[in-house]
Amino acid sequence: MPGTPAPDARPVVVDPLVCGRPVTSADRVRLPDVRGGDLADVGAAPRLMALSALRELRRHADGVPPGQELFDEAATLFEEAELDGETPEEYAARVSYATGLTAAAVAQSVRDLVDELRELSRTTAAELPATGFAADPAAGPGTGSGSGSAIGFATRWVPRGRVFAAVMASNHPTPHVTWAQALFHGYSVAVKPGSRDPFTALRLTRALLAAGLPPRKLAFLPASHRTGEFLLREADRGIVYGGDSAVRRWQGDETVAVRGPGRTKALLDRDADEAITAHLALSASYDGGTRCTNLSAVLTTRPVAEVADALARRLATLPSVPVTTATATLLVADRERAARIRAQVDELRAAPGVTDHSARHDPAAGETVVELADGSHLLRPLVLSVEGVHHPAVGTELPFPFVVVAPWTPADGVAPLRESLVLNLLTDDEELVDAAVREPSVRKITRGAVLPWTAVPGIPHDDNYTQFLLEPKGVVATV
């Protein structure tokens, strides 16, 4: 890969960028390279720096949207330009070696991110009701506008505040469009990147500033989790990505959009032929299984062992190669993170009522963590089956292709399908489909061989994000 940093190269220095100004932090954090050593030396913004940045953002916040043209230009720069000495190839390599995402996954995420930046206007139009200025010629005395005057009226959608905070994760670059969308609607934004990927937020910040974004609308603040919580408390609106603890901390706070574990499930109520097995395997393994929308549980009316074996055989064909290899599809991790994941997997395998199907079919003899020649540790797919739909393994999320297959009968109803970001229904039972759609904890339904992350402008993925950012305001005037 052109521009690929060597594992023994001097770590790149990353510091906060506050309102267009680089600020050196004395609090330094090492960012490990998946191959060994350190990839970056990151300056973490202490709380006092975060407070100062928020005050500056708020002091100059005007709520004025920058316009789609600026985001079109920023998208082009993010994808193609050298920004502050970083080429697109260097950026992609750093993300791969920091997060373990394959080169192909990073390249696709860049394409997805720039496409979403270019479609912000279209996304907004699709997620808001059609409004416009209209006149009522029948208005007369008593309308408050003067005898015989016509009244014009409109609904304007405006930001619900001035300052927005984004606390991001490191599993995938594409979600960074969420804080860019806040900028698009007129917010001033403080973004805390994920601990393993400060590169995407920094590059997008540089691209937006180079495209003409007023510097005092944006602050890039690598920081601790505690400082991230401070940013969310102090901002008018915010978004947080994280695990169950983040969900518990912020769920119910109407000013914070929470993006937690996806727990995407499939309900399989038909024979698992080759096409369905391929669909389920891709749903689980795409982007190395790191997306919140990757499949993690299959509930089925068919023989559980047969479904699990078929899925394990299919996933076992994925190659064990370094992330920069063209054929790579699986995530890698550094030694410490791989050890933590291995311990989680060993605990799951040892639990009562669990059968490991990957151990039967994987050429790596069922080893979940495989050390590669470049020093990275590859995470191979794991398929388990359990004896009951309420087994605690159902709903477990791991950051690689991991699927639990469990039995389901119509008598179980919707209860086992709850708490799903996406529910893939492979059934002809229309009553079940209707019940699943009505279930509040199921956020999105797909039917048939539709991949869980398939998006259509205007169709909610996890609630209506545009209406979370904006509120309607009436404008009434004489015409």
Same structural domain for residues 296 and 392?
yes
Is the residue at 459 inside a domain? no
pLDDT digits (tens, 9 = 90+) for 206-239: 999 999 999 999 999 999 999 999 999 999 999 9
Query: How far, rounded to the nearest angstrom, does the alpha carbon of residue 350 sit from its chain's CA centroid?
Result: 31
Mean pLDDT computed over 452-476: 86
**479 in Cβ contact with 150 (< 8 Å):** yes
255 and 268 in a single domain? The answer is no
229 within domain boundaries: yes
pLDDT for 3 equals 55
- 316 in the same domain as 405: yes
pLDDT at position 147: 47
The total number of structural domains in the chain stands at 2
Q: pLDDT (tens digit, 9 = 90+) per residue, 121-145? A: 999 999 998 765 555 554 444 444 4
Query: Are residues 245 and 271 located together in one domain of the fold?
Result: no
Residue 39: CATH number of its domain:
3.40.605.10
Last residue of a domain, one of 259, 290, 308: 259
pLDDT of residue 136: 55
**Domain stop point among 259, 289, 309:** 259
The pLDDT-based confidence of 475 (bands split at 50, 70, 90) is: confident
The predicted structure's pLDDT at residue 141 = 44
Residue 474 has pLDDT above 50, yes or no: yes
Query: Does pLDDT of 67 surpass 60?
Result: yes
Is there a single domain that holds both residue 99 and residue 232?
yes
Asked if the structure places residue 479 within a domain, the reply is no
The share of the chain scoring above pLDDT 70, in percent, equals 94
* Confidence band, pLDDT 50/70/90 cuts, at residue 252: confident
Q: Which of 200, 306, 307, 227 lies closest to 54 in space, CA to CA? A: 227
Whether 305 and 187 map to the same domain: the answer is no
Question: 205 and 318, same structural domain?
Answer: no
CATH code of residue 333: 3.40.309.10
Q: Are residues 48 and 128 in the same domain?
A: yes
Confidence tier at 146 by pLDDT (50, 70, 90): very low
Q: Are residues 271 and 236 located together in one domain of the fold?
A: no
For residue 318, tell me if it sits in a domain.
yes
pLDDT at site 7: 54
Domain stop point among 221, 239, 259: 259
Q: Are residues 140 and 236 in the same domain?
A: yes
Whether residues 300 and 372 share a domain: the answer is yes
Which residues form the domain of 370? 264-447
Segment 415-448, tens digit of pLDDT:
999 999 999 999 999 999 999 999 999 999 999 9
| Residue 298: how many other CB atoms lie within 10 Å | 28
Same domain, 242 and 365: no
DSSP 274-326: HHHHHHHHHHHHGGGGTSTTSEEEEEESS-HHHHHHHHHHHHTTS----TTST
| pLDDT for the residue numbered 8 | 54
**113 touches 119 (CB < 8 A):** no
227 assigned to some structural domain = yes
Q: Is residue 419 part of a domain?
A: yes
